[in-house]
Amino acid sequence: MIEIKVIMAYSQILKSATNLIAALLGYVLAVVLTSKLLSFWMPEERSFTDYATASVLGFSVTLLIYFVITKFFESRNIHEVKFPTLSVIKASFTAAAILLISVILLFTLGLYQVIEIRSWHLLPLVFIALFFQGMSSEVLFRGIFFRQFIRWIGPKNATLLLCTLYASVNLMVDGIHLQIFISHWLFCCILCQIYIVTRNLWVTGAFHGTWLFFAFLPGLLDEHWREGALVIGQVIGHVLLTGGSWGIEASIFCIAILSIVNVYLYRTRTNRGPEGPQDVE
C-alpha cells in the first residue's frame, strides 16, 4: 500500500515537472517567435505603437501556448480564463488606488514634485503595452508555475516559494537591498493571493497590468516609457520614504499599504475555507 502511494506521488511530481518544462520551453518559443515576427515589419527604433502591438502579440502567443499546455499536457478544462467583469474592475481599481495613495502621501509631505506636464496622447498606447505585459506575466507565472507549485507543496508554501524567487530575481535587476526585496515580495504575494481567492487569470492580470501603468504615471522611472509620460516628476528625501530611483512602489508608504492589502486578502482566503484553485485541490 505504501509503495503504491509512493509511486503515485512520484508520478504526480514527474507529471508536474514535465508541465513546467513544457511551459518554460513554450514561453521561450513564444518569445523567439514573437521577436522574429516583429523583426520583419518593425524598425529597430520602435515607436509606442510598435511597443503596444508587440505587447498584444506577445500576450496572444503566450495565451495560445497556455491553452496548448492545459489541453494536451494537463488534459483538463480551463476554468481560470473566464472574464468576471466586476472582479477585474476591482483588481484594477485596487492596484491604481495603492499607488495613487502612495503618490498623494508623498506629494502632501513635499517628497514628490511634478517638474513637467506633457501631452496625454501617448498614454493609451503605453497603457496597452504595459497592461498586456502584465497579462502575459500572469498567464506564465500564476497560470502555469504557481499552479504546479500548489500541486507540489500547497497554496501557502507555493506562495512563499514563488514570492521569494520573484523578489530574489528582482534584486539582480534593481540591486541588492532589503527594501527592494520586501517591495517585490509583497507585490508578488498579492498576486498569488488574488489568484487563490478568485481562481482567475484575468483578475490577477488586471491587477498586474494596471500596477505597471500607474507605477509609470508619476514619471520617475528612467526607461523608454518615460518619453510617453503625462508628467515628469522627482522625489526629494530619504530613499526609505520615497523609493528613490526604484520608484514609488518601493517607498515605505507603498510597502505599508501592500502589507495591509495582503493581510486583508489572507483573511479573505482563510474565511473562504479550502484554499487553492478547485482543480488543484
pLDDT value of residue 120: 83
Question: What's the CA dihedral at 236, 232, 134, 44 to 10 degrees?
Answer: -130
C-alpha 218/C-alpha 234 separation (Å) is 8
What is the pLDDT confidence band of residue 275, given thresholds at 50, 70 and 90?
A: very low
Residue 190: per-residue pLDDT: 96
C-alpha–C-alpha distance, residues 207 and 104, integer Å:
20
- Beta pairing partners, 117: 231
pLDDT digits (tens, 9 = 90+) for 216-226: 888 877 666 66
Of residues 110 and 276, more confidently modeled: 110
If one compares 115 and 24, the residue with the highest pLDDT of the two is 115
Predicted confidence at residue 80, as pLDDT, reads 80
Closest to 209 measured CA to CA, from 97, 132, 139, 262: 132
Query: Is the pLDDT reported for residue 252 higher than 60?
Result: yes
Give the model confidence (pLDDT) of 160-180 as tens digits: 999 999 999 989 888 889 999
Which of the 8 DSSP states describes residue 247? Answer: -
Which whole number is the average pLDDT over 37-43? 56
Structure letter (DSSP) for residue 222: -
Q: Model confidence over 144-163: pLDDT tens digits?
A: 889 888 888 899 999 999 99
Give CA–CA dist 141/107, Å, rounded.
34
For 129-153, letters b (16+ CB in 10 Å) and e give bbbbbbbbbbbbbbbbbbbbbbbee
pLDDT at 183: 96
Q: How many of the other CB atoms lie within 10 Å of CB of 196?
A: 24
For the chain, the domains span 83-280
Prediction pTM value? 0.83
Q: Which of 44, 45, 52, 47 is nearest to 227 (CA)?
A: 47
Residue 279, pLDDT > 70, answer: no
